[in-house]
A and B are shown apart, each in its own frame.
Chain A
Amino acid sequence: MSSSLPFISRSMEKKFPKLHDAQQDVKSNPVVPHYSPFVSCFPGSLSSSAPGFSSDIHHFSFSADERNIQGLSTEGTWCADQIQGALDRSDNVIAGNNQAHSSSIELPDDINRQDEWWTDMMNDDWKELLDDTTVNESHPKVSYPAAQTSASMVNQPQIHQSVPSHSEEGFTVAGSSSATATATKPRMRWTPELHERFVEAVNQLGGSEKATPKGVLKLMKVEGLTIYHVKSHLQKYRTTRYKPDSLEGSMKTAKFGEETPPLNLKTSFDLTEALRLQIEVQKQLHEQLEIQRNLQLRIEEQGKYLQIMFEKQGMSSQKKLEVSTLEPSISSDHAADGRLQDNQLETDVFPEAKVTDGSSNKQMAESCNAKDNKADFVVGSSFSCGSAKIHDGDDSISKPELS
């Protein structure tokens, strides 16, 4: 039972700091930003993965006996080891993998026995590992170019932005995708810089009508870019230019017809005012969405941290983390084995607080003392009230200390 815990904790520790990386704004990268279909990671539809996957499987299946497994079939064992392998590898992938992987590697048939190992997993102790299986097999993929990227011109000395490349989430030409029915080509993510390059190439070739995908591809000189990408982009480019182009005279907007002024507004003055109102509302939505997004990120970070804490707690003495120093006492939801039940996380952290950026710790402290905090126990507050900042890093996680 405890075999699963260090497993998760370790993976959490490695992944937790990475979350921050994913949010950094990437300015310039030498490789075309690609990402692979999420679905290709699903056990039944696995396709390309980091090379060496198969070798890992073989390797790990031999070490099966060493594990303390009760009543599992061989396949179950294999499954668990596969997870371990996937985790380790995915960590490597995250840790700065900029190389182009070879195109899809056919996985051994083991993988395709997904039905079998699903039904073979009888032991509850493998619950977590089971989760990890489904999740972590996707890990190598997802950790690729998930983060935002920007221009990627390989080996071009005159890169406009000289911001240091980011890419801990390896941007690679991800192997072409699964053998199953899902998306077949690695999808690319265009950036303004890349598009600029594209436009230059097109103009050099005499305009969007004259330019051919092949010619553009050649001129752009971007590693990892395929003619397929250029072709579809060129098509979109042509459509944009010749549809709503005001110099052409006709006026139709992009996807759905807002053709004539909808309100029969009498003057252009009114029209401008209508546009102003529209912009106002749009700006408001944008702002709220940004705030909401940051909140969501923070909440998830915290949730993950707490998960680790509770699992650690379960392993060592339960008393250690008790916030006896605080007024609100810890809820009694800790399961006997210290594992956090899902509904334990349903405590009221933000009663009526308005959270603004940069004030999360303070806000936590406030909610600690807030009289109207109805929760028995505010997990987040406990840590910050104790003036222990929520910081990542292996040391702090292994030795939590409250003031």
Chain B
Amino acid sequence: MKFGKRLKEQIEETLPAWRDEFLSYKDLKQLVKLIPEAQPCSKVEAEFIELLNFEIDKLNAFFVGREEEFIIRQRHLQEMVKRVAEMYQARGREEEYAKEMSRIRKEIVNLHGEMVLLENYSSINYIGLAKILKKYDKRSGRLLRLLFIEKILKQPFFTTDLISKLVKECESMIDLVFPSESDHQQLKPEDKRKLVGEEQSIFRSTVVALVTMQEMRKGSSTYGQFSLPPLSLPDNLLQSLQPTPIPIP
């Protein structure tokens, strides 16, 4: 029950274009509930599996599409950095250079953010699938979960190696284009809060994702072999962003 709620919250806080692309956890759960207990194969079960397959395709399609887009954007930004350096910096047009670089920095950070959110997308949908399969097994008395999970682990939406690599490359780019840290001060708390409070932003979505992850990994009544240990975040990371208007019950 809780996961469904958390998933819903995550979806609410996610980027608008992504809202319909998450696992239809609720629908799957409803199907599972309809499965007659301990009976060999019913129509409902067939429906469940069909929906499951459909959902997995949906996840794959979205993920791969985004991944493609990120590849394009990343390369584009790399190109931009070079071009701007050539056009402005090399010719001593410092002011324009600074202006353009400021824009590019923002683009890079946002790209990074979206990529990480895609990783989160992958993760949360996987968790949903794992949970729903567990429910299915319990309800039907079958052992579908392990076999299905094994396949899911190999699906495009879960094999995030490339995205991970892109994220790291992005971070290197950021290190290059950001001024050194020597003279940077912290943002004022109220500015921080404003950042988080801003709806439908990448930043907010990211924070929500972290909070959700933390919440989900706290112990629960169904904590078991396949559950993850509690999350440990660096101190104060989330605290420094509180109080936030994110409604986590």
Chain A residues with a Cβ under 8 A of chain B: 15, 19, 22-23, 25, 35, 37-39, 41-45, 114-115, 118-119, 121-124, 126-128, 130-132, 134-136, 138-139, 142-143, 146-148, 150, 169, 182-183, 187-192, 195-196, 199, 233, 236-237, 240-241, 244-247, 251, 253-256, 258, 262-263, 265, 268, 270-286, 288-290, 292-293, 295-297, 299-300, 302-304, 306-307, 340, 342-343, 345-350, 352-355, 379-380
Contacts and interface: CB of A to CB of B under 8 A. Distances in A.
B225 A345 contact: yes
A270 B102 contact: no
Interface in B57-98: 57, 60-61, 64, 67-69, 71-76, 80, 83-84, 87, 98
Given A126-B40, A187-B61, A277 B195 contact: yes
A271 B187 CA distance: 9
15 contacts: A39-B50, A118-B41, A134-B49, A138-B53, A189-B156, A190-B64, A240-B72, A246-B107, A254-B110, A279-B174, A286-B116, A295-B229, A342-B134, A354-B232, A379-B225
Given A39-B57, A379-B225, A189 B67 contact: yes
B220 to A, nearest CB: 11
Contact of A292 (B15, B166, B174, B228): B228
Best-buried of A195, A281, A340 by chain B (most CB within 10 Å): A281
Nearest to B216: A292
B158 to A, nearest CB: 8
Nearest to A195: B71
Interface of B: 15-17, 40-43, 45-46, 49-50, 53-54, 56-57, 60-61, 64, 67-69, 71-76, 80, 83-84, 87, 98, 100, 102-107, 109-114, 116, 119-120, 123, 126, 130, 134, 137-138, 141-151, 153-156, 159-162, 164, 166-167, 171, 174, 178-179, 184-187, 191-192, 194-195, 198, 200-203, 206-207, 209-210, 213, 222-234, 237, 241
B71 A191 contact: yes
A348 B224 contact: yes
